[in-house]
Amino acid sequence: MTVPASVLVVGASAAGLATAEILRRRGYQGTLTVLGEEPHAPYDRPPLSKQVLAGHWEHERAALRDEAQLAALGAEFVLGERAVGLDAGARTVRTATGRSLCADAVVLATGVRARRLPGQPDLAGVHVLHTLDDALALRADLLARPGADRPNSPGTTGNSPRTTGTSGSPDASGKRLVVVGDGVLGCEVAATARQMGAEVTLAGPQPAPMAAQLGHGAAGLLARLHASRGVRLRPGAAVESLTGERGRVTGVRLETGETLPADVVVVALGAVPATDWLEGSGLPTDDGVVCDSRCRAADGVYAAGDVARWHHEVLEAHVRLENRTNATEQALAVASVLLGGDRPYRPVPYFWTDQFDVKVQVHGRPAGDDEFTVVEGDMADGRFVALYRRGGATTGVLGWNMPKQTLPYRRELVKAYSALTPAP
């Protein structure tokens, strides 16, 4: 393949920025354009539900690069402008303002959008958490004093946040937060808000939070961690609707008929790939942009990050990963193909989550019902490494506050993936 003279990246976040950076780092001299719908320069999302929501970081600290670093990239950043259409054959992207951007290769890195409750009413106090603006709005709402006008977006309020008497640090105590959704994001929001002092209820359909990702053993431990820190858990609780008064949310109604009172609600029901704008482009989309093992969706069109569903040769399936490490690794794979490489992308999936004082790391792609065996440490001590197995084969490794000890097991998993990998 000849190296394209120009590359247009759609989506100016982790995967999009990494694609541009890796191309330059590897000597790419062509024209680079990065188009992003958000007005902000590229920032990192994992701190949004942790340090930024908690207020431990000023939001500027979540920026992935500073102005000088972005300028040094020699790319044109077109920010605050949404792509609304793609002509895949002509590799031309149309934007909401009517601009046409054309390149020899297009990289789709538009990520995902937060899923909402079906028929979710437009009530103040109801939040999702995907963007920086979402995180700041949620934080402001958690800290707003009762009775004061609660803000729905940053910079729109003159309210001073409540503070604790002694430390003067912002405090959400007394705020009743209901988190709808017991996946990783819901758990992180619950943990952070609880540490901010809020009264938190975590409601979701699973028997324990994150059971689908962690399996029952580790999910049970996570449930105990949350409960011990004062998070009220409503496992097996499907949410029916939200209740409100005078335009503001007042509660969450469960299918059982029970209503959980709420001042603030976070809907954390997962995410959907941001492919709506690709309708009519001729590109295959099915829970993401469908790609081959080289992350190629069509001639000269590639996808990276949360939006990409590509053929993983080792897992023998089309896979879409929503995690930070994949955004960078897949960008690397796409940049390599753009520069003439021809290697399939077959990573060992990896995600981490930080909740209270626990770091959980999961390598591989275990299923919730895989056999689960602790191989180092002890669950009772809150520090351990466990292996997931199915049919005698290791499918995953979990580290619970034991990052260093987890690494050798990850290496084993990488070796197992390599052994299964067809030669490049």
Ligand X SMILES: Cc1cc2nc3c(=O)[nH]c(=O)nc-3n(C[C@H](O)[C@H](O)[C@H](O)COP(=O)(O)OP(=O)(O)OC[C@H]3O[C@@H](n4cnc5c(N)ncnc54)[C@H](O)[C@@H]3O)c2cc1C
Taking CA 40 as the corner, what is the angle to CA 156 and CA 126, rounded to the nearest 5 degrees?
45
Binding site for ligand X (CB under 6 A): 10-16, 35-38, 45-46, 48-49, 82-83, 109-112, 129-130, 185, 274, 277, 305-306, 322-325, 327, 351-353
Question: DSSP readout, 146-215?
Answer: TTSPPPSSTTS--PPPPB-TTT--B--TT-EEEEE--SHHHHHHHHHHHHTT-EEEEE-SSSSTTHHHHH
Cβ-based nearer residue to ligand X, 101 or 254 = 101
At closest approach, how far in Å is the CB of 164 from ligand X? 25
Cβ-based nearer residue to ligand X, 109 or 172 = 109
343 in the Ramachandran plot: left (φ > 0), alpha (ψ -120 to 50) or beta?
Answer: beta
Cβ-based nearer residue to ligand X, 1 or 73 = 73
At closest approach, how far in Å is the CB of 167 from ligand X? 26
> In the sheet where 92-95 sits, what is the strand order?
83-87, 92-95, 100-102
Cβ-based nearer residue to ligand X, 197 or 305 = 305
| φ and ψ at residue 119, rounded to 5 degrees | 70, 20
Q: Determine the residue type at 339.
A: L
Cα(53)–Cα(47) distance, integer angstroms: 8
Residue 195: CA count within 13 A, CB half-sphere: 19
At closest approach, how far in Å is the CB of 130 from ligand X? 5
Cβ-based nearer residue to ligand X, 135 or 254 = 135
Residue 237: CA count within 13 A, CB half-sphere: 24
At closest approach, how far in Å is the CB of 113 from ligand X? 7
At closest approach, how far in Å is the CB of 419 from ligand X? 26
Q: What's the burial of 241, exposed, middle or buried (CB within 10 Å: 0-12/13-18/19+)?
A: middle
Cβ-based nearer residue to ligand X, 51 or 395 = 51
At closest approach, how far in Å is the CB of 350 from ligand X? 7
316 in the Ramachandran plot: left (φ > 0), alpha (ψ -120 to 50) or beta?
Answer: left
At closest approach, how far in Å is the CB of 22 from ligand X? 13
Cβ-based nearer residue to ligand X, 129 or 262 = 129
